[in-house]
Amino acid sequence: MRVILLGPPGAGKGTQAHRLVERHGIPQLSTGDMLRAAIHAGTEIGVKAKTLMDAGALVPDDVVNAIVAERIDQPDCADGFILDGFPRTLGQADATAAMLSERGLHLDCVIEFKVDDDVLVERISGRYTCANCGAGYHDPNLVPKVDGVCDRCGSTEFKRRPDDNPNTVRTRLQAYYKETSPLLGYYYAKGLLTAVDGMLDVDAVTAQIEGVLARL
C-alpha cells in the first residue's frame, strides 16, 4: 500500500502516520523528520535546510526529491509506505509519479486532512515531544499522566520544534496554500483524493482513514 497524507502543518499527518505504521507494518516517510535528522547530523543538506525550515519556507524540490527517491529503495519500503509531508509542490508531485513509474509501482490513495487555520495554530503552538523517545504531547490537550514525566519512557526531558512558533506557523500556512494546495486538484483529477475531517479527535480521524483504506 502506498499512501500520501496531505494537509497543512499541524493537521495531524504525523500523528496518524504513526498509527498507520503500527497497524499496517509499513514505514512512515516524513521529509520533515528526514530533514531534521540531516540537521542533527550536520550534513551539507542539513546545514542548507536549517535556515529555510526555521523560517517556515520550503526546502528546494531537488533536495527532497533525492532524499525520498533514495529512501523508497530501502528494503523496508518493499510492501509500501506512507508519505507524510511529501510531495508538497507540483514539481514534487510530478517527481513522485516519475519515481513510482520507474519502479513499476503505483499510488493507492491520497488522504487530505481538512482542519481550520485557527485550530492548526493552536495545535502547533501547544506541541512538544519527549526528547528521549519522541512521544508526542500537546499542552493542554495531551499532557503526560504524571506531570513532567514521559508516559512511554519515564524521561523528564521534553523539546519543542524551533519552527513551532506563531510567526513561523503563519509562513508555513502561506507556503501550504501557495505551493501545496494545488496538489488537491492534481490528485482529485487522477481519482486518488479522499478527504477526512481532521477537526475530529485523533481516534475518530484514525477510524475515517481506516475506512478509506478498507475500500481500496
Give me the amino acid identity at 196.
V
Among 21, 39, 99, 142, binds ligand AP5 (CB under 6 A): 142
Burial environment of residue 37 by CB neighbours within 10 A (0 to 12, 13 to 18, 19 or more)? middle
Q: Fill in the per-residue mask, 73 to 112: x = in contact with ligand AP5 (CB under 6 A), - = not in contact.
A: ------------xx-x---x--------------------
Give me the amino acid identity at 31.
T
Among 4, 93, 111, 205, binds ligand AP5 (CB under 6 A): 205
Joined together, the cell numbers standing for residue 3 give: 499512501
Q: Fill in the per-residue mask, 155 to 184: x = in contact with Zn ion (CB under 5 A), - = not in contact.
A: x-----------------------------
Give the closest residue to 115 by CA, choosing from 201, 13, 199.
199
Element (H, E) at 175: helix 166-175
53 binds ligand AP5 (CB under 6 A): yes
Joined together, the cell numbers standing for residue 39 give: 540537521
Among 153, 157, 159, 167, binds Zn ion (CB under 5 A): 153
Please indicate if the annotation marks 8 as binding a ligand: no
Q: Which residues contact 67 (CB under 8 A, 6 or more apart)?
A: 31, 34, 35, 38, 45
How many residues sit close enough to Zn ion to count as binding (CB under 5 A)?
Answer: 8
The residues in 2-31 that bind ligand AP5, with binding defined as CB under 6 A, are: 7, 9-15, 31
Which of these is catalytic: 13, 48, 160, 178? 13
Q: SS3 for 123-145, per residue?
A: HHHHEEEECCCCCEEECCCECCC
Catalog residues that contact ligand AP5 under the rule CB under 6 A.
7, 9-15, 31-32, 35, 52-53, 56-59, 64, 85-86, 88, 92, 123-124, 126-127, 136, 138, 141-142, 163, 172, 200-202, 205
